[in-house]
Structure formats: structure tokens, C-alpha cells
A and B are shown apart, each in its own frame.
Chain A
Amino acid sequence: MRRVAITGIGHTIFGNLSDFDLVDVMAYASADALDDADIRKERKIIDQVIVANMGGGRLNHQAGIASSLVSRLDLEPAMAELVENGPASGGSAIKVGFATIMSGLADVVMVTGGEVMRTVPGWEGTDFVASLLHPEAEYNYGLTLPAFGAMFTRMYMDRYGLTERDLAILAVKDHENGEKNPFAHVRIPCTLEGIFDSPDANVVNNYIAEPLRLYGMCPVSDGAASIIMCATDSQKIKHFSKKKPVFIAGIGAATDTHCVHERKDPLELKAVKQSAEKAYRMAGISAKDVSFAELHDAFIILEIAISEEVGFFERGKAKDAIAKGITRISGKLPINTSGGLKAKGHPLGATGVSQVHELVKQLRGEAEKGRQVKDPKYGMAVNFGGFGNNIVTTICSKE
């Protein structure tokens, strides 16, 4: 039976790359993937290029980005398209690439996600991301994605007794992981004293949207990540002999209502649950078989909420597991070993691909010193679009 193997990965540093052209940044990560797969000279075996990007039109004034990338890398005549799904563009692009291979339309697919957002000042970036919201019932008010992250957090705190200090403890863990990741945007670790307990914490870690603070939100980042996938039953697989392949074991996606207020229980992330269930079913596993996960923590509360929604912990109980150290790299179920969006950064189009990049790195046993999960078998990535209304879950396996 045809399976999809990930045979090459590439990643740029995440941070301020606003001096560089968007497609150049994407091409750099893509070329790193070509080199990782050792097919730089044989690059024309790629049949299809899929690009994940959200802001290219508005922030970088570029359209037809996928075609542009093909030429930048001399990959003609490969097929090329853009997939846009807000912050879940990366996950969706991988899903579309997977489907292209499984349908037989292509044997080798390159998926590259990238974003250069720091060309505009913060308030314009906020406005751009807010365009994901419903134009009449949400955007017009000046509501932003962080505003919804904050309202979700407050409801969660009220219902389950989570405190701001619990969130600070989680931020310390994510930044500890980010410090060890050479691609991470933020590599300065933080201490619980510095961001919460000290009397200066109120200024140093100020509210952005109460109750979420500076250390409860991901930074605004530029960057790109790329993966190369190949059908296991294709002749072309023989080009990828340098590294052990990692397999896509399951993929699922689902949508929920556009407006957050239209959900029966705004704390229930139905689309997360449904997309995870589809991915588990395809992979033939359940939550307890997952060795480690990359969960979309654009707002730190999401690392907690998603981990419960996909079945890792009971509702309301994730904070206890975090306090016990279960989600640290050395723990039983490491979460966001890359630093998560919190410390690694969140170039919107790149994130979904960056998450899978981390899954592959860990499953190959190639993670940096101090960051390697012990003997992982299944890794899971959950990519969150809008505010919970479009989710893509990808499960990768070593065999």
C-alpha cells in the first residue's frame, strides 16, 4: 500500500528577517531541505510544490507566490499552488501534499511554509491577523486574536481554577526548550521569579490582553520551514537513501463556527477533537500511544486546552501534569520540545510545517543536545487556524 515518507527537512532561524524578500526566505528553507535529502542536484524529481503563507498579498505585496518559489529554486516544470488557512496554512499544505501523493497525482512533493510579517509595525500586524475574525460581528469592534485568547483564558480560569501563575510556570518550560533550539526566535530563558513572583513582574511581564501577559503570547516572527515527501512505492524513493525516512501515519482536519460566540460551549474546541480523532483513526492509534507533541500555543492557554481536547489529560487537569513536569523534555509526554510557538516563534504560514519539522527531527533522533526525546515512536502536531475554527492534526511515526 502506498505510504507517504518525509525524506528531507529544512528550517530558517525564526526572528526578524524583514530585510529579506519573502520568497528568498522560503527558498532558503527549501534549499536546506534539498540538502538534507541530498537531492540538490536531482531537485527536478520534485513533481509538486505547495506553499503555505497567509500574508504575502497584504504584507509583502506579492501574489502567485508558489510559482515564484519554483523559479527561485529552478524546479520548473513542477506543479505549484498556494494553500492558505490562516495560522493553519502549514498543516493544511501538508495535508494537501499528502493527498496529492496518495491520489497518485505526484510522487515527490515539497511543502514550504513561510511568512515575513515584520515589514509592518505591530499594530498593522495585529490588524492583519484580526482579519481572520468575522468582519461584522468581531473585526469591526477592534477585537483581535489575542482578545479571544484572553477571553478563552478567563473562562477557563473561572471554570477550572487555573491561575496566572500556572501559565507562568508553563512559559518557563517553553522558554527552557527554546533556549536549546538554534532556530528559535526567543533564546533567552525566563525565570518564575522574573516573570511572576518578583514585585517588578507586573511591569516586566505586563498585560497585553488581560489575563494574558507578554509571556503568555507568542512573538511576531519571520521565517520559513520546508519538508520533502515521497511515495514509498515510487521509483523516485531510491534518490532518498541518505537518511531514514519518517512516515505520515495519520492526518485529520475539521472546522467549527467562525464566530467564537456561536459555539454552544466556547471552551469546547470541537474542531481540535474531531481532527485529532480522524488522525488517530488513520494511524490506528489513540492518545496514549503518542510519544510527544507539538501543540499550537500562540496563546499559552492553548497548550493546555489542546492537550486536554486531544485526550492527553482530563479536562481541567493539564495544569497538574505540567506542574509535575510530565510535559518537559525529560518527562513522560514531552510537549513543545521545540519551545512551541511561545519561544520558537510564529511566522503564520511556516508554523504548521515547522511543527512537522520538529516531529521528524525527534523521530530521527537528530534533536540538539538536551532536546532529544527518549526513543519516540509517534509524534503529533496540532495546527490551529483562526480561533479554533479550522484545525489540522498530523501524526508521524518512525515506522
Chain B
Amino acid sequence: MDDIDFKVYKIGKPEVYAHKCPECGTLYYPVPMICRHCSARRDPSGVFYSSWEKVPLSGLKGKLLTWTRVYALPVGFNDRYLLFGIVELENGLRASGRLLFEDPKIGMKVVAKAGIVREKVGQDVFGFMFDVR
């Protein structure tokens, strides 16, 4: 048997990634299948086209554009409420994510952290958790 790549069993620390278009370098979160600027294609399997380079986003600074405190959560969440917001990151990308602090205000300075946002069978789902900075 040829070499097994044991790296796939490595338990990763939570991270959220942007994808970078290989032709024009534009960053995307989430990633499309055709680049909006230069029309380059993406192949998630990486076989026919590049699957595009992943760029980690945690640690980036950002500004809070809007927020909410949601009481009626969907299946799978037993919290009384959760806080969410839309943030503009310093590299120009925007994202929606959870807020880790109680008194959000529009324009507040935040920092992007990555955490487990949902537990699915056999796999944890990582996403943005924004904190005050």
C-alpha cells in the first residue's frame, strides 16, 4: 500500500478561510464558482481547475456594521438568545457571524476569532465569532 496521508486525521484548531482567485487575487467569503472580476473558474475537487488558495481570516480587525439579539433560535440551539452581527474586516471583506459581547453598537471596533458555531454529526463547523478589541 502506498503512503497514507495521516495529516487528514490532525485535529485542526478552529479557523475561517477566505478563498483567493488564482488569476486576479480577489478574496471571497464565501467562495463562488466563477470569479466576479476576471471570470476565472474554480473546481472544489481541484482536478480540472484550481480549488483556489485558502487564506485564514482569524485575528483580522473589523468594524461592526449592524447587529441583533435573537431569541427564537432554530433547531439545534438551546440558548435563550444569541447575538449576531455583520462586520467589515480591515481587508475589505465582510462577514456575518456570532458576537461574543453583550452591548454591541454600530461602528464598534471588533476582532475576528474562529470558533465552533454548530456541531454536526462527526464534524464540528467553524465560523466567525467577533469580540471587542
Residues of chain A at the chain B interface (Cβ within 8 Å): 122-124, 126-127, 130, 134, 136-138, 140-144, 146-147, 150-152, 154-155, 158, 206-212, 259-262, 266
Q: How far is the CB of B122 from chain A (nearest CB, A)?
A: 15
Q: B72 — which chain A residues lie within 8 A by C-beta?
A: 122-123, 126, 144, 146, 208-209
For this complex, 28 residue pairs linking A to B, each with C-beta atoms less than 8 Å apart, are A122-B72, A123-B73, A126-B75, A137-B30, A137-B96, A140-B117, A141-B97, A141-B98, A142-B70, A142-B76, A142-B77, A142-B82, A142-B117, A143-B70, A143-B96, A146-B72, A147-B84, A151-B67, A151-B68, A158-B66, A207-B71, A208-B72, A209-B68, A209-B70, A212-B68, A260-B86, A260-B96, A261-B95
- Interface of chain B, main secondary structure: strand
Q: A154 — which chain B residues lie within 8 A by C-beta?
A: 66-68, 106
- Interface of chain A, main secondary structure: helix
| In the assembled complex, B100 has its CB within 8 A of some CB on chain A | no
Which A-B residue pairs are the 6 nearest by beta carbons? A127-B74, A150-B68, A261-B94, A127-B75, A137-B30, A155-B66
| In the assembled complex, B38 has its CB within 8 A of some CB on chain A | no
Task: List CB contacts (< 8 Å) of B10-41 with chain A.
Answer: 29-30
Q: Do B86 and A140 have beta carbons less than 8 Å apart? A: no
Of chain B, the residue at the smallest CB distance from A129 is: B74
Number of interface residues of B (CB under 8 A): 30
Contact A141/B75 with A146-B70, A147-B70, A150-B70 known, Cβ cut-off 8 Å:
no
Q: B77 — which chain A residues lie within 8 A by C-beta?
A: 142
Residues of chain B at the chain A interface (Cβ within 8 Å): 29-30, 65-77, 82, 84-86, 94-98, 106, 117-118, 125, 127-128
Q: Do B66 and A144 have beta carbons less than 8 Å apart? A: no
Of chain B, the residue at the smallest CB distance from A262 is: B94
Q: Do B65 and A266 have beta carbons less than 8 Å apart? A: yes
Q: B118 — which chain A residues lie within 8 A by C-beta?
A: 140-142
Q: Which of B67, B70, B117 makes the CB contact (< 8 A) with A144?
A: B70
Q: Do A155 and B30 have beta carbons less than 8 Å apart? A: no
Q: How distant is the Cα of A207 from the Cα of B128 in the complex, in angstroms?
A: 24
Of chain B, the residue at the smallest CB distance from A210 is: B69
Contact A143/B95 with A150-B68, A154-B106 known, Cβ cut-off 8 Å:
no
Q: Do A155 and B106 have beta carbons less than 8 Å apart? A: yes
